[in-house]
Structure 1
Amino acid sequence: MRAARFHGPGDIRIDDVPDPQVQPGQVEVSVDWCGICGTDLHEFLEGPIFIPPKGAPHPLTGVEMPVVLGHEFAGVVSAVGSGVTGISEGDRVAVEPYWVCGKCPACEAGRYNICRSLGFVGLAGDQGGFAERCVVDRRWIHPLGDLPTDLGALVEPLAVGYHAVRLSGIREGGTAAVFGAGPIGLVTAAALRAAGAAKVIVVEPAAARKAKASGAGADVVLDPTTDDAPQAIRDLTNGVGVDVAFECAGIDAVLASAIGSVRPGGTVCNVAIWGHVPSVAVNDLVMGEVNLIGSLAYCGDHPDVIALLQDGKVDAEQFITGRIGLDALVSGGFRELIDNKEENVKILVSPKEVLA
């Protein structure tokens, strides 16, 4: 079958690879759509980061680069292994793209997303969504019901925002600011709205992304190039500051603004994956007793996100800004998102169809 594999920075190839083999307890998914993630772009430009380099195979998969890419995907079940229940061939499904050890303290505590040996399907092995088919363990398969698989491919990024909102501890009727209206910032805003936040403020300089923020759930959109975001946020919250701020940009100055925007004793939730070691004014945390927490991916969040989509509480269709075939992955996908990031949110890739 055909699959896109990472061979090194800037080197992604469409290779012929062996068909995956379904083992007991596993499910094969015929991939319909796979989204391009910001993590994929970081790997393309600066990797390997999460991808295991040559000579250092991943401890769970035993695989080193080249690896099959793609972790935001959905499709139709094409085969099931012995012992699999609750899933049948022909079912539409989304995949929670993990490899975990099941034995470390995090796994034993049910927080498998911070497993000490964590690996992502599509980053750490020979399975991924930028391939015609993918095999994963049954536990990672989530039925979509009647949801179409293009929306199913958005369940993974939506789960990132949903998990961050849940982890932040924001209550119904609370206030929040989201810094960065890229894909993760937009889905975080959507998750906040679905969670019952009373006021959602989005901070973003790019015109195209600002235009999408209101549809994602923002009540107010601020431009940090013209607005003093922390002061404006305090003005919008009766001088108090928001309960929670979400850093979705991975920029030092943005993190500082997020810290300056929360109320005393408030929380800053970092959702971004950083490409560098940030500089943080820790005294700003100390003087306001601000909680700074990190949020990684998702853990048990996929069923709730699918329910939100099924109930129409999140309009995910608005986030799809392009559809391409596998052969256009780099030129029409990665390069488009890098060179015209302000114009795009989520580009979906079909591994099976020839699309422009």
Structure 2
Amino acid sequence: MKAARYHGRGDIRIDEVPEPEVGPNQVKVSVDWCGICGSDLHEFLEGPLFIPPPGSPHPLTGQTLPVVMGHEFAGTVAELGAGVDGVSVGDRVAVEPYYVCGHCAACLEGRYNICRSLGFVGLSGAQGGFAERCVVDRRWVHPLGGLDTDIGALVEPLAVGYHAVRLSALPEGATAVVFGAGPIGLVTMASLRATGAGQVIAVEPAAARKGKAPEAGANVVLDPTEVDVPAAVRDLTGGAGAEVAFECAGLDAVLASAIASVRPGGTVVNVAIWGQPATVSMNSLVMSEVAVVGSLAYRDDHPDTIRLLTDGTVDAGRFITGRIGLDELVEGGFRQLIEHKDEHVKILVSPRGLS
């Protein structure tokens, strides 16, 4: 079967690989759609980062590059391993793309998303969504019900935003400010709107992305090249500042602005994956007792995210800005997102080709 494999920085190839075999308590998924994530772009441009390099196999998969990429995917159940129940062949499903150890302190506390040996399907081994078929453990398979699988491929990125909002403990009706209107910023705005935020303020300099923010749920869009963002946020909140800010850009200047935009005792949730060490003024945190919270991926968030999509609370279809076949992955997907990022939110890839 065809699969897109990462061989090293700037080197992704469409290879012929053996079809994976399903084992006990596993499910084989025939992949319909897989989204290209910002972390995939980081691997392409700067990696290997999360992908295990030669000589350093992943502790759970035992594998190194080349690995099959793609972790935002959905499809239909093609085959069931022994002992699997709750899903049937032909069911539409989304995949929560994890490898976890199950026995570290985080796993034993139920916080499996910060497992000490954490790995991701699509980054850590031979399985991934940029392939015609993929085998995963049953626990990571989430039925989509009546949702189409193109929307199902958006469950994973939406769950990232939903998890960040849940971690923030934002009170209903409160104000949140989201820094960055790229894909993760936009799904965070959508999650805020869906879960009862009173006012959602977006901060974004790029014209095309500013235009997408109101569609995702922003009441106000601020351009940091035109206004003093912390001052503008205070003006919009009666002088107090936002209860919570979400950092979705991974830039020092943005983090500093986020800290300055929350009220005393407020919270900054870092959602971005950084490509370099962050620099922060600790006194800015101390003098206002601002809490900075790291948010990683998702944990028990897929069912709630699927419900938000099923009942129409979140209209995820608007985030799809392109559809391509697997052979177009690099030039029609990665290059488009790198060179024309303001024009795209989510490009979906069909491993079995467009019909």
Using structure 2 for the length normalisation, give the TM-score.
Answer: 0.99
RMSD over aligned CA atoms reads 0.6
Match in the other structure for 1:219: 219
Is 2:123 aligned against 1:123? yes
**TM-superposed deviation, 1:214:** 0.3
- The residue type paired with residue 320 of structure 2 is I
- Structure 2 distance, partners of 1:142, 1:227, is 43
SS of equivalent residue, structure 2 residue 268: strand
- Structure 2 distance, partners of 1:57, 1:179, is 35
Is 2:305 aligned against 1:305? yes
Match in the other structure for 1:64: 64
- Structure 1 distance, partners of 2:354, 2:220, is 40
Is 2:172 aligned against 1:172? yes
- Structure 1 distance, partners of 2:144, 2:201, is 31
- Structure 2 distance, partners of 1:307, 1:137, is 22
- Structure 1 distance, partners of 2:4, 2:286, is 46
Summarize deviations over 1:91-132 as a string: whole Å, max 9, x none. 000000000000000000000000000000000010000000
SS of equivalent residue, structure 1 residue 218: coil
- Structure 1 distance, partners of 2:283, 2:97, is 38
- The residue type paired with residue 162 of structure 1 is Y
SS of equivalent residue, structure 2 residue 33: strand
Taking the TM superposition and a 5 Å limit, the aligned residue runs for 1:153-232 are 153-232=153-232
Instruction: Please say if residues 113 and 296 of structure 1, whose CA atoms lie closer than 8 Å, have aligned partners that are also in contact.
Output: yes
- Structure 2 distance, partners of 1:100, 1:300, is 14
- Structure 2 distance, partners of 1:134, 1:4, is 12
- Structure 2 distance, partners of 1:161, 1:268, is 14
- The residue type paired with residue 321 of structure 2 is T
SS of equivalent residue, structure 1 residue 260: helix
Instruction: Please say if residues 60 and 99 of structure 1, whose CA atoms lie closer than 8 Å, have aligned partners that are also in contact.
Output: yes
Instruction: Please say if residues 71 and 122 of structure 1, whose CA atoms lie closer than 8 Å, have aligned partners that are also in contact.
Output: yes
SS of equivalent residue, structure 2 residue 86: coil
Taking the TM superposition and a 5 Å limit, the aligned residue runs for 1:1-356 are 1-354=1-354
- The residue type paired with residue 170 of structure 2 is I
Residue-pair matches, total: 355
**TM-superposed deviation, 1:281:** 0.6
Summarize deviations over 1:130-150 as a string: whole Å, max 9, x none. 000000000000000000000
SS of equivalent residue, structure 2 residue 312: coil
- The residue type paired with residue 224 of structure 2 is P
**TM-superposed deviation, 1:78:** 0.4
- Structure 2 distance, partners of 1:290, 1:278, is 17
- Structure 1 distance, partners of 2:138, 2:177, is 37
Can you give the 5+ residue segments of structure 1 that lack an aligned partner in the other structure?
A: none
- The residue type paired with residue 261 of structure 2 is S
- Structure 2 distance, partners of 1:337, 1:269, is 25
Instruction: Please say if residues 97 and 140 of structure 1, whose CA atoms lie closer than 8 Å, have aligned partners that are also in contact.
Output: yes
- Structure 2 distance, partners of 1:27, 1:9, is 31
Percent of aligned positions with the same letter in both sequences? 74
- Structure 1 distance, partners of 2:236, 2:175, is 10
- Structure 1 distance, partners of 2:27, 2:129, is 14
- Structure 2 distance, partners of 1:207, 1:78, is 43
SS of equivalent residue, structure 1 residue 125: coil
Summarize deviations over 1:261-304 as a string: whole Å, max 9, x none. 00100000000000000110110000000000100000000000
Can you give the 5+ residue segments of structure 2 that lack an aligned partner in the other structure?
A: none
**TM-superposed deviation, 1:354:** 4.5
**TM-superposed deviation, 1:171:** 1.5
- The residue type paired with residue 250 of structure 1 is G
**TM-superposed deviation, 1:74:** 0.2
SS of equivalent residue, structure 2 residue 275: coil
Summarize deviations over 1:32-70 as a string: whole Å, max 9, x none. 000000000000000000000001100000010000000
- Structure 1 distance, partners of 2:237, 2:330, is 43
- The residue type paired with residue 199 of structure 1 is Q
- Structure 1 distance, partners of 2:176, 2:354, is 42
- Structure 2 distance, partners of 1:113, 1:354, is 33
- Structure 1 distance, partners of 2:108, 2:241, is 37
- The residue type paired with residue 326 of structure 1 is L
Using structure 1 for the length normalisation, give the TM-score.
Answer: 0.99
- The residue type paired with residue 70 of structure 1 is G
- Structure 2 distance, partners of 1:308, 1:93, is 16
- Structure 2 distance, partners of 1:354, 1:114, is 36
SS of equivalent residue, structure 2 residue 75: strand
